Structure 1
């Protein structure tokens, strides 16, 4: 799959392009709308990674829409401040997590298949490329939270660049998937138990308590932190 990274941030463009190339993709970068239109002219781009500025040029929008109609996928880059409404900055490195709508985006911008919030790790960026190559994160059953990847089809979880799944019990995996699907929202203990085990709720509380405890330890050993506040948990 050929990947085209289109952003006016030279450091970010180089980082994304090089990460894609190192992973075996054919990748190029476009630094302005003119370069973007020229790169799209050949029609062989499988995935376009666009920041907000690139997505607002009328000629570029038309080119992106035309190729999207032929199967090209689009990943939109959003800065952390756009996602959180705060004063965060994009920083260097690759784009970040969360497929959230940007309320400030121009209504005429082309539709996108996924949204990455900057910054994030190369591992997450490459996971999104892999999801796009397989037809999109939703259809591939892939949930991504930072460097944590959850394959809901195979019922496996991975952390970082490794393809070796975390050694999780069935209940640990189910709790992890439920928390990941909450999109950063805190879930209390009883809510998790009900989501994982609809029947036998009271019988499962002690078992789920042990499962969450061991899940937190396994994630921490891998380098990922499960946030806990009292009896509430979240993955962010």
Structure 2
């Protein structure tokens, strides 16, 4: 039995009958998976750092709760409201991402994080979804690919800015989702193949020109290299097998 009748014109009633429920379920499962992973993996790390074993779990929820509320609030907006919010977020965090080139400390060869109010902030993570919304609207607002020039004026500088940090991974994600948007908007296979080839060439160029990219790739491929994340993953499988030893026992 549904909590809201189809004739319910309240804000929550309209939300219930218009929200993408499959997407809602997917988001819920991702949140649940994240909670399980934090419960399973963080207590030993907290103990090693001589912190309360629930330290990172509590920290996770202090971020999760306001984020979930914000997500729910955005889902209540009409499409035009979502677009306006995306434009504002894109403008704000594009400026902050630009500021990282001068204000962010260098961490592992990149300038990505700002420290605001004692908290770390990676502005490009907020810029990315806002850019996806705005470019999708631009491509859909005009027939054919009439919105492509305006979309390129946003995507091009964004990718260039990310490469200046440098953040090759984020730049690759932006190019990938924009390519998918172009395909959905009606771009033919040949331009998509050309874009894919350019992307592969760009990755090869990054490997050749950026030392930190080369070090990461070589470290992943070299079984004798000291790669913390790979070592921890192998250790976890050796210790707990495919299904693990249970939450907090890793």
Bin for the TM-score computed over the shorter chain: under 0.3
**TM-score, reference length from structure 1:** 0.25
**Structure with the larger helix share:** 2
**Structure with the larger strand share:** 1
Task: Mark the structure with the bigger radius of gyration.
Answer: 2
